[in-house]
Amino acid sequence: MVTTIPVDPVAKPGLVLTAQVVLLSSSPLLTIALIGRMPVDAMHVRGLYQPVTFVLFAVVIGLGTTAQVATARAVGSGERQQVRGILTSLLRTGVLVSLGLTVACLCLVPFVDHRLLALIGAMTMTVPFSVAGELTSGALLGAGFTGVSTAVAAAHVVLHGAVVAVVGLGLGAGLVSLPIAAVVAGGMEFLAGALLLRRRGLLAGSAVSVSMRPLLLQVGLPSAGTLLVLFGVTLVLVVIVTPFGPAAITAVAVGAVVEELVLAPAFGFGIMMGSLMNRALAAGERERAWSVFRRGTALAAAAYAVLALAMLLVGQWLAPLVTSDPATSAAVEHCLGIVGPSLGAAGITVTMLTVVQQLGFGALPLLLNVLHYVTVLSVGAALIAHGSLAALYWTISLAAVVSAAAGVPLAWWITRRAVFRR
């Protein structure tokens, strides 16, 4: 007989975690809206910088996801004393990666505009602060404390936006406010998260590093790899649309941020499902893990059906909110009007593939993403050569629907095998 659990154990933490991820993902959109009130050249530089954000975000999310999964498994198996060592090891990795990115940035000096290079260099040096905050949040999520983690996330977004508004707009510092905001908000998130972990007894163990290499390769690297794929995709899209002018470049950048915001609930809900399933599997409760997956998938599908309808009806209204320039607003509206509704199909696919990733099968979602985007870019580039941005946008939209038709049943099959054949 199949053991089921009530909806609440899935829905309540899922909604809380989804709210947290939406809050975090809304930060870039809020930032772009604030930059849109700065001189037009600042928005253009931010648009060129957009691909780089995926590289930095890949580092943060790869390490944060690893912390979340490792903590969930440690708590589920009764080894809470390992959490401190897990975080110590991953923080050290984050600092080393940040140093590597800063050195790589120096190699770009002969090739990149000095304003863009200055922004990239400054942001790479803020990565340790972002990583530290994400690690403590990931540990709280893995241990099941989604409510307090969401409160910290809300404070992070508010503080980040406030610093950009005060320093960037109020004091006229412009893009200089971005690294300052990253340091202040990331530092606050780390301190608050560490305090919450300590009060809940999750930092009582040894600070000796725990070997995280297997889990980093199994979970962290594929999670980061997915965002690195998005880096390549966004970079290629910027190159493809460059002949259409700065407004088109900004439209692609804003479209990427909106996509990130709309798909944030998918990542959040998928992470929540994976966390609950990992804890259940660590305790030997296979039927409970499968019940979490079934109920969570049903909730995600219903939510994204509503979201797709909302994007169809009001998605284009986002354009005037992110820029006051009429040409740029028209370009953004054109992009979102075509691509926006298809994000509903992408959402359920991302939710299920995130679960697959959380269960340790990260290479498959990464491979599917690569195949998806190679196809989109190849077809889109060929069509846009005829002078139509709409052809590129329609290619992106239709590809999302086709990927859902193939990816959803595949993820269902893989998850069932993972749960019952461990």
Mean pLDDT in order along the chain per 10 residues (422 residues) = 40 54 62 66 61 77 83 81 88 87 72 73 86 88 79 84 88 85 92 91 73 78 71 79 81 76 75 80 86 88 84 73 73 83 88 85 78 85 78 88 90 89 66
Helix or strand holding residue 266 (H, E): helix 246-282
Chain centroid, CA 38 distance in Å: 26
The CA distances from residue 254 to 119, 228, 232, 238, in Å, are 18, 18, 16, 11
What DSSP state is assigned to residue 72?
Answer: H
Q: What are the extents of the domains in the chain?
A: 8-420
Encoded tokens for 5: 């659990």
Q: What pLDDT is recorded for position 109? A: 61
37 touches 324 (CB < 8 A): yes
Helix (H, G, I), strand (E, B) or coil at 28: helix
Q: Has this prediction a pTM greater than 0.75?
A: no
Token pair 């198996």 in the structure block, residue: 77
| CA–CA distance, 94 with 186 (Å, rounded to integer) | 13
Residue 126 and residue 187: Cα distance in Å, rounded?
10
- Res 183: pLDDT: 93
- Contacts (Cβ under 8 Å, ≥6 apart) of 388: none
What per-residue confidence (pLDDT) applies to 258?
Answer: 75
132's CB contacts (< 8 A; 6+ apart) are 91, 94, 186, 187, 189, 190
The pLDDT of residue 163 is 92
pLDDT at 412: 92
Buried b (16+ CB within 10 A) or exposed e, 157-169: bebbbebbbebbe
